[in-house]
Structure 1
Amino acid sequence: MKRVMQTLVVLAVGGAMVAMLVVGLGLYNVSARAGHLPGVRWLLHTTYQQSVRLRAPAPEKVPEDIAHPDRVALGALHFKTSCAFCHALPGQAQSATAQAMEPPPPHISQAVSDWAPEELFWIVKEGVKMTGMPHWPTPDHEDEIWSVVAYLTTLPDRQSQIALAGEGRDRAGCAQCHGEDGNSRNSYIPRLDLLTPGQIAEALRQYRDGRRTSGIMQEAASLLTDSQIAMVAQKFGSTKAPQEQSAPAPQAPSAGARLAQHGTGDVPACTACHGPARRADAPIAPLLSGQSQAYLETQLKLWRAGHRGGGERANLMRKAAQDLQDADIKALAEWFASLPPS
């Protein structure tokens, strides 16, 4: 037994010395042109597959609305902007640069074929070391990640994917998500025509500077100059004066109306700052009447979890939302969405 242990120690030390020589002298050729040694590609890919399957969330974590057309459309637009350079779009060939990567990124038609939705979620969220696949810029915005997964899981409906993402690789402009007039018809995307130019400009600066996080919006705003931000804000924002008061909302018996208009001992009245009929001395906050229910629910959950950064009023909203239950958030979002835009 002693001789066996000595042999194992000698082999271990010898292996370590060989590894140090390979690393220290640069003997291993890291050229992408040379590729991997025989068996290395299989070893790395198998490790990748097993690692994803071990760490992916449980299937019950997949959102119930994963197939909602608006969620799929949002994921398609982001994929076109941020992912298609490497993985291409359905029916398109990959660029020569993408094909020269080592390992080469799989074409979108093959990239998702062997993965369940929860496994795709983990890959998009975490990225993959030494492949060029980045992690999602902000891990707290899982709702955005699920939208990308929603798009990926539309395969093999190739025609649907082409229609959603478009056939070009050009970067998606603001209007592709928010609409030409700022009135987005997508329930997961905010209406910009309900915001003032100042509110839009401040939000874009926060995204660009990292003070407010979003894997989708930080990508969109990252290269914008101050003058471009001003142009976008003027194009999409409402010219309504921010201090102008919206008309009072009719009293309604719903739980959302009562909570929004009167609050509770722990939750302040939302309408005091966000209208309708907000206080004249209230901080200038976005009017919420007419925004979509899905978008408002997502934002309130981000506030409650402390993941919705930005601005001086961030602490106020975190405190306002921290005691909201899921049922409260749904009721508030449903009521505000039901009101006519102010």
Structure 2
Amino acid sequence: MTVRWKHLIVLVILLPLLGLGVGWSGLMSVRASTGHWAITDWFLHWVMRNSVATRVAFVDTPPLDDPALIPGAAGHFETGCATCHGSPAQAAPASVLAMLPPPPDLKKVVLEWTDAELFEIVKHGVRFTGMPAWPTQSRDDEVWSMVAFLRKLPDMDANAYMQASGLHGIGHAGEVSPLPITCESCHAESKLNDTSLIPRLAGQSEAYLLNALKAYADTKRPSGIMQVAAGTLPREGLPELAAYYANQPRATRPLVQQDAGLVEKGRVLAEEGRVADKIPACLSCHDKASANPAYPKLSGQNSAYLRQQLSLFHAEIRGGSFYGHLMEGVAKQLTPEDIDAASAYFSQR
């Protein structure tokens, strides 16, 4: 018995040393050109699936059937994901498919995962595969939007995908035209309505728009979608972009009918505030002719967008410019009904 224990102890000591020796020797190949052994490929994917399944055991999946979740996620997919995974409008290039492991065709593999598992993968990425984490970890709402888009992806043809993502057209031989995604792909007035989670930029002040773009580019305002979009723009071009949208007229459009009682509650909150909860009147800062130009104009903004942003302020996620902290204290005092009421009121104003 004593001899056997000695042998076991020696084996425990030698095995790690043997592994280090193999690694030091350089005999273990890391060449992507040679691929994985079948058992290595199986083991890595087995570990990945088990890891994802364990981490989503207590994830609650929100409703994902809101069409407003799709446009922003689709645009981000084209600029941030399709380069490796391909899309209904363009196949992944051969150079990317030579990666090890090659990025999968998501139209084929998303059906193998639950919504919660897709959320885990999109938010946190996957080590050893080149799959990055979502650019900001605080915006679960954006990650769920991407999951909602991925659920639609298998049934999308090129035309449906182009419409969802804002692509401007496909060039010859099925290749996407140069610079297909622009700001207008998402923010064009003709594409927005009261249920859109994408804001109306036309007519906002130049100061507010420039501050927002800089905050996104500097990652001070969390948004995986906008941090990527603004971060790829030349810094010196941001003032020109802000000026362009500040000088654009807002298009008139039919208003979505809001509950009259809710709108009235929003009006009282906007005009009078609520002293007992230290909530100032919204209109004491916003939409006044003499207002600080760094404050956003709320009138006519999409109600769904306003609701989302107020909720982010309430959760202390929004961040942004030098003045962002002023809204955090106010938003913490707002109830969900207050947020709905204020959003409904300003969308009708």
Normalized against structure 2, the TM-score is what? 0.85
Q: Does 1:84 align with 2:93?
A: no
Whichever residue aligns with residue 62 of structure 2, its letter is P
* Aligned mates of 2:233, 2:198 — CA distance in 1: 20
Decide whether the 8 Å contact of 1:125 with 1:145 is kept in 2: yes
* Aligned mates of 2:91, 2:199 — CA distance in 1: 33
* Aligned mates of 1:182, 1:201 — CA distance in 2: 23
Q: Does 1:117 align with 2:120?
A: no
Other-structure match for 2:102: 104
Other-structure match for 2:257: none
Other-structure match for 1:274: 286
* Distance apart, 1:83 and its partner CA: 0.3
Match of 1:193 among 182, 202, 208: 202
Other-structure match for 2:300: 290
175 and 163 in structure 1: CA distance in 2 versus 1, 3 angstrom threshold: closer
295 and 114 in structure 1: CA distance in 2 versus 1, 3 angstrom threshold: same
Q: Does 1:220 align with 2:218?
A: no
Decide whether the 8 Å contact of 2:262 with 2:344 is kept in 1: no
Q: Does 1:176 align with 2:188?
A: no
* Aligned mates of 1:253, 1:32 — CA distance in 2: 60
* Distance apart, 1:51 and its partner CA: 0.8
Task: Please list the CA deviations of residues 202-252 of structure 1 after superposition, one character each: whole Å capped at 9, or x if unmatched.
Answer: 211121122222101110111222332122112211479xxxxxxxxx998
* Aligned mates of 1:257, 1:2 — CA distance in 2: 85
The alignment partner of 1:189 has SS state of: coil
Decide whether the 8 Å contact of 1:257 with 1:335 is kept in 2: yes
The alignment partner of 2:285 has SS state of: helix
Whichever residue aligns with residue 184 of structure 1, its letter is L
* Aligned mates of 1:5, 1:136 — CA distance in 2: 49
Other-structure match for 2:264: 254
Decide whether the 8 Å contact of 1:57 with 1:119 is kept in 2: no
The within-5 A match list for 1:1-342 is 3-56=3-56, 58=58, 61-64=60-63, 66-90=64-88, 92-159=90-157, 160-161=160-161, 163-165=163-165, 166=167, 168=176, 170-179=179-188, 184-185=192-193, 187-238=196-247, 254-264=264-274, 265-266=276-277, 267-275=279-287, 278=288, 280=290, 284-339=294-349
235 and 191 in structure 1: CA distance in 2 versus 1, 3 angstrom threshold: same
Whichever residue aligns with residue 147 of structure 1, its letter is S
Decide whether the 8 Å contact of 1:90 with 1:108 is kept in 2: no
* Aligned mates of 1:63, 1:10 — CA distance in 2: 54
* Aligned mates of 1:252, 1:132 — CA distance in 2: 48
* Distance apart, 1:68 and its partner CA: 1.9
16 and 284 in structure 1: CA distance in 2 versus 1, 3 angstrom threshold: closer
* Aligned mates of 1:101, 1:139 — CA distance in 2: 26
Task: Judging by fraction of residues, say which structure has more helix.
Answer: 2
Whichever residue aligns with residue 256 of structure 1, its letter is G
Decide whether the 8 Å contact of 2:222 with 2:318 is kept in 1: yes
Overall identity of the aligned pairs, in %: 37
* Distance apart, 1:108 and its partner CA: 2.1
* Aligned mates of 1:184, 1:155 — CA distance in 2: 22
334 and 16 in structure 1: CA distance in 2 versus 1, 3 angstrom threshold: same
The alignment partner of 2:214 has SS state of: helix
Q: Which segment is superposed worse, 101-110 or 15-24?
A: 15-24
83 and 331 in structure 1: CA distance in 2 versus 1, 3 angstrom threshold: same
Q: CA RMSD in A?
A: 2.6
Decide whether the 8 Å contact of 1:58 with 1:118 is kept in 2: no
Decide whether the 8 Å contact of 2:119 with 2:143 is kept in 1: yes
Decide whether the 8 Å contact of 2:200 with 2:301 is kept in 1: yes
Normalized against structure 1, the TM-score is what? 0.86
Whichever residue aligns with residue 135 of structure 2, its letter is P
Whichever residue aligns with residue 9 of structure 1, its letter is I
* Distance apart, 1:183 and its partner CA: 7.3
Whichever residue aligns with residue 268 of structure 1, its letter is P
46 and 183 in structure 1: CA distance in 2 versus 1, 3 angstrom threshold: closer
Decide whether the 8 Å contact of 1:141 with 1:214 is kept in 2: yes
Other-structure match for 2:252: none
Decide whether the 8 Å contact of 1:190 with 1:292 is kept in 2: yes
316 and 291 in structure 1: CA distance in 2 versus 1, 3 angstrom threshold: same
* Distance apart, 1:107 and its partner CA: 1.0
* Aligned mates of 2:286, 2:3 — CA distance in 1: 79
